[in-house]
Amino acid sequence: MTAAVSPDWRRTVVVIPTLNEAPNIPELVARVKQAAPDADMMIVDDQSEDGTAEAARQAFADHPGSRVVSRTGPRGLGRAYAEGFRLALEAGYSEVVQMDADLSHDPAALPTLISGLERADLVIGSRYCPGGGVEGWAAHRLALSKFANLYARIATGMGIGDITAGYRAWRASALRSLRLDTVESAGYSIQVELAVRAHCAGLKVIEVPIVFTDRRRGQSKMNLGVLAESFVMPWRLRAYVARMKKETTWRPS
Ligand SMILES: Nc1nc2c(ncn2[C@@H]2O[C@H](COP(=O)(O)OP(=O)(O)OP(=O)(O)O)[C@@H](O)[C@H]2O)c(=O)[nH]1
Ligand SMILES: [Mg+2]
């Protein structure tokens, strides 16, 4: 794909990172298509061993604008998003949505997220705001998620209710301004890092409520390395915020 692609006919792309999500692919693709028929999909797969990439190629047989990106090199959610976003911007899309593949993010919320871009640069699908929520999680899982969220919010000083959320819509112009080539997060902390960068860049960030449901198929990819990065990164980002505040380009939102 080239930068010459007209946004008039290829406006929105939904970027979906995958690691061993094959059983979720057919339902995911069908439900995204139903909810956002004009959007393309980009599955960014990290050498899944369970045939995810093949399943996605098959599911995209009727979706000429959608594509599978098969990554090589070290795996990581942050790395996958950095690459997917770069390719989306290169392809000339004007709106970029990010979502998980395991159907925890209900595709039916896509129109709400996308239409939120009429009034914001970044729309976060929030579990932790009035009207939002989580279904199917045991109490300890919910407590861990809320703790991670509070920890990241306090460390970075951001007033975002769900700063670790992974269901988001971006104006491409906003994403382009964040210098994705300098993103540090390899894993899940990409969500916090990009929210902080968006805030520091003076972008308008809003939250819309979503109900997150526990994955029904496949396994969580959370591991110790990912958790360790999520503990350290907010403090690195705190230093980033302090640096940005000193620069003349600082425009608090
Ligand atoms: N490309 C890529 N995708 C990943 C990687 N790790 C996780 N993912 C995908 O990122 C999304 C979120 O991962 P999950 O394992 O569902 O994380 P989670 O929602 O916090 O955990 P669960 O609640 O247990 O599902 C899913 O679509 C995963 O397949 C990775 O290293 N590379
Ligand atoms: Mg999940």
174-211 residue pLDDT tens: 999 999 999 999 999 999 999 999 999 999 999 999 99
Asked, for residue 251, whether it belongs to a domain, the answer is no
pTM of the model: 0.93
Ligand at shortest distance from the CA of 165: 1
Ligand at shortest distance from the CA of 134: 1
Whose CA is closest to 184, among 145, 235, 121? 235
Q: What are 218's two structure tokens? A: 């496949």
Asked, for residue 4, whether it belongs to a domain, the answer is no
With beta carbons less than 8 A apart as the criterion, state whether 3 and 92 touch.
yes
Choose which residue among 16, 77, 168 to substitute to test ligand 1 binding: the one with the highest number of ligand atoms within 8 A of its C-beta. Answer: 77
Residue nearest to atom 21 of ligand 1 (CA): 220
222 pLDDT band, cuts 50/70/90, is confident
Asked, for residue 203, whether it belongs to a domain, the answer is yes
7 pLDDT band, cuts 50/70/90, is very low
242-251 residue pLDDT tens: 998 888 555 5
Asked, for residue 2, whether it belongs to a domain, the answer is no
| Ligand 1 atom nearest 16 alpha carbon | 27
3-state secondary structure the chain: CCCCCCCCCCCEEEEEEECCCHHHHHHHHHHHHHHCCCCEEEEEECCCCCCHHHHHHHHHHHCCCCEEEECCCCCCHHHHHHHHHHHHHHCCCCEEEECCCCCCCCHHHHHHHHHHCCCCCEEEEECCCCCCEEECCCHHHHHHHHHHHHHHHHHHCCCCCCCCCCCEEEEHHHHHCCCHHHCCCCCCCHHHHHHHHHHHCCCCEEEEECEEECCCCCCCCCCHHHHHHHHHHHHHHHHHHHHHHHCCCCCCC
Average pLDDT over residues 81-107: 97
Ligand at shortest distance from the CA of 136: 1
Asked, for residue 72, whether it belongs to a domain, the answer is yes
15-50 residue pLDDT tens: 999 999 999 999 999 999 999 999 999 999 999 999
The answer to whether residue 126 scores a pLDDT higher than 70 is yes
Residue 5, pLDDT score: 44
Distance 58 CA to ligand 2 centre (A): 23
* Residue 219 CB–ligand 1 contact under 6 Å: no
Distance 228 CA to ligand 1 centre (A): 16
* Residue 216 CB–ligand 1 contact under 6 Å: no
| Ligand 1 atom nearest 218 alpha carbon | 25
Distance 78 CA to ligand 2 centre (A): 15
Residue 86, pLDDT score: 98
Gap between the terminal Cα atoms of the chain:
34
* Residue 70 CB–ligand 1 contact under 6 Å: no
Distance 244 CA to ligand 2 centre (A): 32
Lowest mean pLDDT of 86-95, 100-109, 215-224, name the range: 215-224
Asked, for residue 253, whether it belongs to a domain, the answer is no
Distance 174 CA to ligand 1 centre (A): 24
Neighbouring CB atoms inside 10 A of 141's CB total 13
Asked, for residue 173, whether it belongs to a domain, the answer is yes
Distance 215 CA to ligand 2 centre (A): 6
Residue 6, pLDDT score: 45
Cα distance between residue 29 and residue 60, in whole Å: 8
Angle at 3 between CA 99 and CA 92, to 5 degrees: 35
What's the structural domain count of the chain?
A: 1
Neighbouring CB atoms inside 10 A of 234's CB total 23
With beta carbons less than 8 A apart as the criterion, state whether 106 and 150 touch.
no
Asked, for residue 31, whether it belongs to a domain, the answer is yes
Choose which residue among 19, 45, 164, 189 to substitute to test ligand 1 binding: the one with the highest number of ligand atoms within 8 A of its C-beta. Answer: 19
Q: Which domain holds residue 126?
A: 12-246
134-144 residue pLDDT tens: 999 999 999 99
* Residue 44 CB–ligand 1 contact under 6 Å: yes
With beta carbons less than 8 A apart as the criterion, state whether 29 and 231 touch.
no
CATH number for the domain spanning 204: value is: 3.90.550.10
